Amino acid sequence: MTKTQKASIIKRKFLLHYGQAKTELKYSNLYELLVAVMLSAQCTDKRVNLITPALFANFPTISHLACADIQEVKLLIKSCSFFNNKANHLIAMAKQVMENFNGEIPHTQNELKSLSGVGQKTANVVLIEYFGENFMAVDTHVFRVSHRLGLTRAKTTQKTEEDLVKLFKDHLHALHQGFVLFGRYVCKAVNPNCQDCFVQEFCTTTKSFKPQ
């Protein structure tokens, strides 16, 4: 079986199990989603969901965040990893949206990436979740699952993303969400639930992979 044939079967199985999957981050609009995704870098969705209610109560819109006091933002997100840097990025991002995009969060990858603290993964996650765009975002879960299934041998998240896009081509938004949830609850880094795995026939190892 070729890698392309294997990828086709894996794709079909993931779309069957996770075709309607959505992020576990809680949000009610594009502004809240972008902030939540920025906070989620190297932090769990569960933790972010504990932080954001108070943050959004104090800063309900992008314009409020643009005028925020840095110390107040730090206090509200202090239980999040790298909260000092994230607070600076959040306020800088909000100011850029107000100044460069007339207060409207942009809808394209390149424009999102122009914002402080927004890299390609964050931009792609926002576009995947909010707009259903055909992008792949590679976090630790996607990286681990794709390597365990032998879909890529890439050392970085960027190259892994390129390999997965080339293999799968479409339905990337659903596959991203599926790989995240599968990696979070089944194909875990430690003690994976192999008995619940629906693609076990393609698993090459239970080694935990981390990007460089």
pLDDT single digits (tens) 94-153: 999 999 999 999 999 999 999 999 999 999 999 999 999 999 999 999 999 999 999 999
Helix, strand, or coil here: 205? Answer: coil
What pLDDT, on the 0 to 100 scale, is given for residue 207?
A: 81
> Fold identical between 3-21+136-202 and 30-131?
no
Q: Mark whether 139 is an active-site residue.
A: yes
What pLDDT, on the 0 to 100 scale, is given for residue 206?
A: 85
* Cα–Cα distances in angstroms (integers) from residue 177 to residues 1, 75, 110, 126, 187, in the given order: 26, 31, 21, 12, 14
Superfamily (CATH) of domain 30-131: Hypothetical protein; domain 2 (1.10.340.30)
Cβ–Cβ < 8 Å for 14, 151: no
pTM of the model: 0.92
- Both tokens of residue 202? 């393609």
DSSP string computed for 172-191: HHHHHHHHHHHHHHTS-SSS
Residues of the chain with pLDDT under 50: none
Q: How far apart are CA 151 and CA 147, in angstroms?
A: 6
Q: Where are the domains of the chain?
A: 3-21+136-202, 30-131
What pLDDT, on the 0 to 100 scale, is given for residue 139?
A: 94
Amino acid at residue number 122:
T
- Both tokens of residue 209? 């992979």
**Does the CA dihedral 94-96-98-104 come out positive or negative?**
negative
What pLDDT, on the 0 to 100 scale, is given for residue 1?
A: 85
- Both tokens of residue 95? 């100011």
- Both tokens of residue 176? 């991203």
- Both tokens of residue 28? 């009610």
Cβ–Cβ < 8 Å for 27, 208: no
CATH number at 3-21+136-202: 1.10.1670.10
Q: Phi/psi at 183 (nearest 5 deg)? A: -70, -30
Q: Mark whether 11 is an active-site residue.
A: no
Cβ–Cβ < 8 Å for 169, 9: no
Which listed residue (11, 95, 121, 163) is catalytic? 121
Which listed residue (11, 86, 95, 139) is catalytic? 139
Alpha helices in the chain (DSSP H): 3-18, 30-39, 45-58, 62-66, 70-76, 83-100, 109-113, 120-131, 140-148, 157-168, 172-185
Q: Which residues contact 209 (CB under 8 A, 6 or more apart)?
A: 143, 144, 147, 148
Cβ–Cβ < 8 Å for 2, 161: no
Amino acid at residue number 2:
T
